[in-house]
Amino acid sequence: MLAKFAQVEALQWLEPLAGDAWHYRRRARLAVHYDAKRQQFKMGFRAPKSKRITVIDACLVLAESLNKLIAPLQHLLPQLELVKQLGHVELIEFEHQVVVLLRLREWPTASDQNHLEQFSKTYNVAIWCDSEQQLAPLSTSEPLSYRTVGMSIHCSPTNFIQAHRQLSEIMVEQALTWLDIQPSDKVLELYAGSGNFSLPMALAGAQVTAIEGVASMVDQLKANAHRAQVNLAAFCTDLEQSWSSQAWSNEQYTKVLLDPARAGAPHAIQEVATRQPQRIVYVSCAPDTLARDAKVLKESGYQLKQAQVVDMFPQTHHIEVMTLFERE
């Protein structure tokens, strides 16, 4: 796709990064529907291009710690009052804790809380509720975290984390290798999230500026940087708007890393290209928007030195692609 749509050829394609092909996924969102008239409850995945729910009691790509919760939840949830206002259920495997996240309109009743807390003790999971009033655990919960290279990152259950628990760290290690961080480097990271890439870069000795569009994640990134005692500044900015009023954009960065959503970085890549950093690592979950943005870099004097497919979603057609661009 890079060659076809952007006329960009990588000098070297590395062997794909791959991990476990089954039971690898550490997060899943399950659709739910309760038919009060028939008193029928459904929980599962939505069929392709449809609102129809395919009921499941197990999933071969889910981590075993999540898989074993599906059948008990199928039994418990229809018995609760909250089933009538339940939006969806998320199962998430963090570093030291499994979370069941319930999306609700209103906070659970005392009776429902008692049943959920019993479920929590029986299956050793934390129950979190995300209502219109608050996002919080039902009872005291240890900090949630996931691993990146060199440290654990504290986060919220609604934060984005990479789906494949093995490949997330391996991908960060590859990015660090390509960037070849030096103590003199000023690195700009775009779409930084809670710090999966930026914190390891700072631990490697770089002066890192991390930009993220979600304010709560910026707060968590700052807190994680404080815990790690690293040289990192984080700002909340809409990267698809002009950077001209942003003080951080006036710095001279030697290297840039960006990991945007599927829409890519149509404006941000233009801003990056005009600043001419030495190296750019672009991590993409959408090859079509990567091709579009790669064309901008080529036209700005960059060469695609290396590229690598990351099989982040085995048993599906989705992939991640990592690319390394350098100034010619």
- Residue among 222, 166, 216, 214 at smallest CA distance from 195: 222
Q: Which residues contact 292 (CB under 8 A, 6 or more apart)?
A: 5, 6, 264, 266
Q: Distance between CA atoms of 84 and 113, rounded to whole angstroms?
A: 15
From the list 59, 129, 155, 285, the catalytic residue is 285
Q: Distance between CA atoms of 212 and 79, rounded to whole angstroms?
A: 40
Tokens matching residue 105: 């309109």
**116 φ, ψ (degrees, to nearest 5):** -70, -40
- Residue among 168, 179, 243 at smallest CA distance from 205: 179
155 belongs to the catalytic site: no
Residue 221, judged by CB atoms within 10 A of its CB (0-12, 13-18, 19+), counts as: buried
Which residues does the annotation place in the binding site for S-adenosyl-L-methionine?
162, 191, 212, 259
* Residue with token string 């990567």: 290
Q: Rounded to whole angstroms, what are the CA distances from 169 to 101, 125, 235, 244?
A: 24, 24, 24, 34
Q: Distance between CA atoms of 310 and 262, rounded to whole angstroms?
A: 15
Which residues does the annotation place in the binding site?
162, 191, 212, 259
DSSP H or E stretch at residue 30: strand 27-35
| Dihedral over Cα of 215, 219, 225, 229: its sign | positive
Catalytic positions: 285
